[in-house]
A and B are shown apart, each in its own frame.
Chain A
Amino acid sequence: MSASAEGPGRRAGSFLHRHPRLRLAGLLSAPVLWLGVAYLGALAVLLISAFWSVNSFTGQLTKVFTVQNFRTLLTEEVYRNVTLRSLGVAAAVTVICAVLAVPMAFFMAKVAAPRYRRWLVIAILTPLWASYLVKAYAWRVLLANGGPVDWLLGGPGRGPGYGLFAVVLVLSYLWLPYMILPIYAGLERLPDSMLEASADLGARAGRTFRTIVLPILVPSIFAGSIFTFSLSLGDYITVQIVGGKSQLIGNLVYANIGAANNLPFAAALATVPVVIMVIYLVAVRRSGALEEL
């Protein structure tokens, strides 16, 4: 193989092959630039603006460093209440989704006959394409005064109506597929032969579950919980549709950046869910959840 027979493409390819670090740099440059500029840069701009303030009459940004926004956030009781309420809702939604998803995913991965498995997955995935708004609105109709849920429970007013309960219910409904999928994927990778071997070795179902299934299940549940937790923590649209008069952190951010035109305060408010999620991510990283996403 003489050098003159190689085309420039092949020479470039060989050159790159001998210089792995250059290959790495080439692979990383565009995405890291994208991540750094488009995303992290934007987040940094947002964080900086949390230390500014806004002239209340004209609405102009006053780019003078101040911690007043954070001070208000920490001292006014309403923000503590709303944060705790949002955390509670997110946690409740995660737990409900996990409780509903595990049996369903287990059935899909291990119990259902293989030829139905694909159709079950399709059945779970299809609602993801139905618009989020339409699903939330469908629940608004379901929970309306005198609507189907009321009708089922015996008359107008019997149902839960709009409020925090409705928010938790609808959010659990919306994010359920996001919880089922990672658990299903994790369970599917568990070979049937392992379960059979465990039974052959004399373990009963409970023991098998604890020592073999659970270690697969836990990271998957955490992976799914990243979605349900973060999607619920920042949601404001479902709250507006079925939440009655409740407000969560997402609503406060939305109101401050929109109606109140107070970007600095909205940015300060936004740091709360960011901090919560980063802590959560670091905490679940150890369980290996990030590989199960």
Chain B
Amino acid sequence: MTLSGWSRWALRGFMGLGLVFIYVPLMLVLVNSFNGDRTFGWPPHDFTTRWWSAAWNNSGARDALLTSVKAGLGATAIALVLGTMVSFAVQRFKFFGRDTLSLLIILPIALPGIVTGIALDSAWRSVVEPLGIGKGLFSVIVGHATFCVVIVYNNVLARLRRTGTNLEDASADLGASPGQTFRYVTFPLIRSALLAGGLLAFALSFDEIIVTTFTAGPGITTLPIWIFNNLFRPNQAPVVNVVAAILIVLSVIPVWFAQRLAGPEAGASRT
């Protein structure tokens, strides 16, 4: 399909406009983190770096960041194990109810977050709390894991579909035990899918607010909850901006890393 030069330029321009649309609000956040006016009056009059030093000393933000990281790691760990198991089962076996299962598995991501949130909230309160386990970081991890599993499942499933079983069969033919086959053949094949899926799952858990609101115990403040609590408060809103600006700038790293992992495979399917 050869596109005329005109249409190539049109696409290029559209892409440029699209990127502008995507990045203008983010640039605004960066600019406002230096805005001297607490209420972000526009256009900004004076510039200051005091919000950056305030953010540095803000223990609330630091604690929230730590909580978010813990929750994300916990949810991603669960997701990696369960998601991989299910994707192997669905991809490598034929069984009664497979189609239904593959539909049910993606429900946590297909149903709105608020439904997951209130379902987990009411189930926790009526069933788990009477058993003595109060809401806390664990309930947040459980809530996040429900949709993180789906992300890992999707990624590993796609990889399994592409790689097939030939290599594993060959390994068995050559005398490797199933354990050895998994360690030396299967795992390296899915490793980058696991990493990409895990990273995306962590990102979703890190930014999740709706399910977290309903599943967090009273003392648990993840970063999104901290942001939500401080977003409108006059003295804190600029600090929130700084935190957001840091997140934007730092997030390029994991994204670039994930792309490098997916890179070689993406090229392989080109021809």
Do A and B truly interact?
A: yes
Interface residues of B (CB under 8 A from A): 1-4, 7-8, 11-12, 14-15, 18-19, 21-26, 28-29, 32, 40, 42-43, 78, 81-83, 85-86, 88-89, 93, 95, 101-116, 118-124, 126-127, 142, 145-146, 149, 154, 161, 172, 175, 177-179, 203, 206-207, 209-210, 223-224, 227-228, 231, 240-241, 244, 247-248, 251-252, 254-256, 258-260, 263, 266, 269-271
Chain A residues within 8 Å of B, Cβ to Cβ: 1, 9-10, 13-14, 16-17, 20, 24, 27-28, 30-32, 34-35, 38-43, 45-46, 49, 100, 103-104, 106-108, 110-112, 118, 120-135, 137-139, 141-142, 144, 146-148, 151, 173, 176-177, 188-189, 191-193, 195-196, 198-199, 205, 208-209, 212-213, 226-227, 230-231, 233-237, 250, 253-254, 257, 263, 266-267, 270, 273-274, 277, 281-282, 285, 290-291, 293
Q: State A195–B23 Cα separation when bound (angstroms).
A: 32
Chain A residues lying within 8 Å of B15, measured Cβ to Cβ, are 103-104, 107-108, 112, 120
Residue in contact with B247 in the complex, picked from A24, A129, A227, CB distance below 8 Å:
A129
Contact in complex: B244, A46 (CB < 8 Å):
no
Which residue of B8, B101, B251 contacts A130 across the interface (Cβ within 8 Å)? B251
Q: What's the minimum C-beta distance from B40 to chain A, rounded to whole angstroms?
A: 5
Measured between beta carbons, the chain A residues less than 8 angstroms from B40 are: 141
Interface contacts beyond A30-B85, A173-B21: sample of 8 additional A-B pairs, CB < 8 Å, sorted by A: A27-B86, A38-B120, A107-B15, A112-B15, A123-B22, A135-B29, A141-B32, A147-B42
Check A45/B25 contact, CB under 8 A, given A130-B248, A234-B113: no
Q: Can you list the 6 inter-chain pairs with the closest CB atoms, starting with the nearest?
A: A234-B112, A129-B251, A13-B178, A42-B123, A134-B244, A138-B25
Q: Is the CB of B110 within 8 A of A45?
A: no
- Out of B24, B107, B112, B203, which one reaches A39, CB within 8 Å? B107
A-B contact pairs, 28 of them (CB 8 A): A9-B177, A10-B177, A24-B93, A27-B86, A34-B78, A46-B122, A107-B11, A107-B14, A108-B15, A110-B1, A111-B3, A111-B12, A122-B252, A125-B258, A127-B26, A127-B248, A129-B206, A131-B223, A131-B224, A134-B231, A138-B32, A142-B25, A191-B270, A196-B1, A234-B114, A237-B228, A270-B114, A277-B112
Q: Are B177 and A14 in contact (CB under 8 A)?
A: yes
Q: When chains A and B are docked, how far (Å) is the Cα of A84 from the Cα of B2?
A: 43
Residues of A within 8 A of B26 (CB): 127, 130, 135, 138
Known: A103-B14, A191-B269. A45 touches B177 (CB 8 A): no
Closest CB-CB distance, B4 to chain A, in whole Å? 8
The residue from A173, A199, A236 contacting B114, defined by CB atoms under 8 A apart? A236
- Asked whether B89 lies within 8 Å of A27 as measured between CB atoms, the reply is yes
The answer to whether A134 touches B29, judged by C-beta atoms less than 8 angstroms apart, is yes
User: Within the assembled complex, what's the spacing in Å between the Cα atoms of A144 and B232?
Assistant: 14
Is A41 in contact with B123, judged by CB distance below 8 angstroms?
A: yes
Residues of A within 8 A of B126 (CB): 45, 49
Contact of A28 among B32, B86, B114, B116 (CB under 8 A): B86
- Residues in A with CB closer than 8 Å to B19 are 123
Contact A49 B270 (CB under 8 A): no
- Using A135-B26, A141-B42, A290-B102 as known contacts, say yes or no to A13 and B179 having CB atoms under 8 A apart: yes
